[in-house]
Amino acid sequence: MRLQCPAAGSWPMVRCPLKPGSVTRDTLGRLHIPVAGDLAAAPPKSCTQQSVTVPPSAGAKFQQELVFESREWKFAYNSLRNTNEGMNGYSKDPAHEALDDPGRRRIHGVAAQSLFVALLVVAANVRKIRSFVAGTATGRSNKPRRPRRRKTTPITQWRPTAAAASGSSDPDPPITA
């Protein structure tokens, strides 16, 4: 993999005295990298070149197990995100824990607030566990139910009846078999 020094290139992100192109008027507000005497005497390759090639073995411990944006990656990270956001909404329920309501935790200090938030999250977990146990004890399945739909004819298939087409003034024509 080719990597570039942050002080290299046409628009450097940091200032470094070993890269004269990074020390200009345009980069005055950027982070300055201090260079010690021994580093200036024998700079590494990344300081003498624009970019370096790093073999996969050098950064293997930081490599992701799943390929970014792959089907497996989307399944893993989307389901984790949905689970996390679902629990956030569950613990913010105003009828129960109301985690997002600061009026429920009227005490000063970060430590006390953290303790109360931890207790509210524990209460939400206990509530979720109790509802699961109650559902399994009654034999109710925990699979999500399909929403009920009305038994109506879709608008694409609807045809006016003969009475409505003839302009009858009776709003509810008699039902005939």
162, part of any domain: no
DSSP 3-state assignment of 168?
coil
Last residue of a domain, one of 62, 84, 106: 62
Q: Which domain holds residue 112?
A: 71-137
DSSP string, 42-111: S--HHHHSSEEE--GGGGGGGS-SSPTTSHHHHHHHHHHHHHHHHHHHHHT-TTTT-TT-GGG----SHH
More confident: 153 or 12: 12
120, part of any domain: yes
Same-domain status, 37 and 88:
no
Dihedral sign for Cα atoms in the order 74, 77, 82, 85: negative
Give the model's confidence band at 34: pLDDT under 50 very low, under 70 low, under 90 confident, else very high. Answer: confident
User: Number of structural domains, the chain?
Assistant: 2
The pLDDT of residue 32 is 84
Residue 124 to residue 126: CA distance in whole angstroms: 5
The pLDDT of residue 173 is 54
Same-domain status, 120 and 84:
yes
Residue 14 to residue 6: CA distance in whole angstroms: 6
124, 93, 146, 155: CA torsion to nearest 10: -170
Angstrom distances, CA of residue 2 to CA of 7, 16, 23, 62, 69? 15, 20, 23, 16, 21
37, part of any domain: yes
Give the model confidence (pLDDT) of 108-167 as tens digits.
Answer: 899 998 998 899 999 999 999 998 888 887 776 656 667 777 677 777 777 777 655 555
The torsion angles phi and psi of 168, rounded to 5 degrees, stand at -60, 140
Same-domain status, 84 and 120:
yes
The pLDDT of residue 141 is 61
123, part of any domain: yes
Give the model confidence (pLDDT) of 100-119 as tens digits.
Answer: 888 878 888 999 989 988 99
User: Are 64 and 46 a contacting pair, CB within 8 Å?
Assistant: no
86, part of any domain: yes
The pLDDT of residue 101 is 87
171, part of any domain: no
Taking the model in full, what pTM does it have? 0.41
Give the model confidence (pLDDT) of 38-79 as tens digits.
Answer: 888 888 888 888 888 878 777 767 777 888 888 888 888 887
The pLDDT of residue 43 is 85
**Residues written for the chain:** 177
